[in-house]
Amino acid sequence: MKTVLILVLSHDKPPYNKMVDTALQTWDKDPVEGTETVFYFDGTTKNSGKNVFLNVDSGLLGMGKKTIAALEYALHNHQFDYIARIHSSIYCNKQALIEYVQTLPDTDLVAGSVAESANGFQYIWGGTGFVISRDVVQKIIDNKIHWQHKYMEDESISLLVNWLSVPFSAGKAGAIDNMGDHWRCISYGGESITFSNFEDLKPLGHHFYRVKQDGKRWVDEFIMKELKRVL
């Protein structure tokens, strides 16, 4: 069986720490064979359990340094065939994810939602997560000097893998939005729907669901709990 290490871009200050707690109570509560989860933070707090603290300065444009450090940590400390890089406002359906990676090429893989950057190039949007094969993770670390930190983390990593001649592959994920009296799931690589009952999401089969509602972390928490209930 191919395996996947889920790296969760995290922060241990409010309101983001609440989302880590919610993840541990929902999608990461139950073990799934072939998957492992690490929540990575900046700072020097002692590592414990699934939490890894990396001694980097990760302001908005410093998140690339944080992810580089997390990838280096993963290569030195974990066995995996793929890394799934998500953030704390993504619900990961681990069973769907492990089934998905079985279908992927073993090498030269960067898969996610392909978007157009305002800076004039295509990139893998980190907002809905992405999957990288181990060989590409190693190539990124071997060539980290070429990481362009003037861009956001997902744009920077995309530019680097493009420079490495690794093509983008389309992933499959959903982004859930509250529309007042109903919900909307915009799907990347699948059907987009509006719904009132979270049961309606089951046929979509996504492995990642972006639940981020800006300024409304309690809604993020509600969505994750609903996804845990139905998935």
Residue by residue, DSSP assigns 3-58 as: -EEEEEE--SSTTHHHHHHHHHHTTTSS--TTEEEEEEEES-SPPBTTEEEE----
Same domain, 69 and 164: yes
Residue 165 DSSP SS3: coil
Which pLDDT score is estimated for 217?
81
pLDDT of 43 reads: 81
Same domain flag for 118 and 63: yes
Q: Which of 146, 170, 194 is the last residue of a domain?
A: 170
pTM for the whole structure? 0.95
Residues 185 and 156 both lie in one domain? no
Last residue of a domain, one of 151, 170, 189: 170
Domain range for 69: 4-170
Q: Are residues 98 and 87 in the same domain?
A: yes
Note whether 153 and 85 are same-domain residues.
yes
**135 and 197 share a domain?**
no
Sheet holding 173-178, edge to edge: 90-92, 208-210, 173-178, 183-188, 193-195
> What is the Cα–Cα distance from 48 to 53, expressed in whole angstroms?
9
Examine the domain organization and report whether 9 and 99 are in the same domain: yes
* Number of compact structural domains in the chain: 2
How confident is the prediction along the chain (231 residues), in pLDDT tens digits per residue? 999 999 999 988 877 788 999 999 999 999 999 999 999 998 877 777 788 888 887 666 678 999 999 999 999 999 999 999 999 999 999 999 999 999 999 999 999 999 999 999 999 999 999 999 999 999 999 999 999 999 999 999 999 999 999 999 999 899 999 998 999 999 998 899 999 999 999 999 999 999 999 778 889 999 999 999 999
Instruction: Indicate which CATH number applies to the domain containing 69.
Output: 3.90.550.50
State residue 61's pLDDT score.
65
Q: Are residues 141 and 182 in the same domain?
A: no
Distance CA 194, CA 201 (A): 10
Last residue of a domain, one of 170, 193, 209: 170
- In this structure, are 72 and 164 located in the same domain? yes
93 and 188 belong to one structural domain: no
Amino acid 144: pLDDT? 97
* pLDDT score at 48: 73
Is 179 found in the same domain as 165?
Answer: no
What pLDDT score does 179 carry?
Answer: 92
Question: In 3-state terms, what secondary structure has residue 106?
Answer: coil
Whether 145 and 177 share a structural domain: no
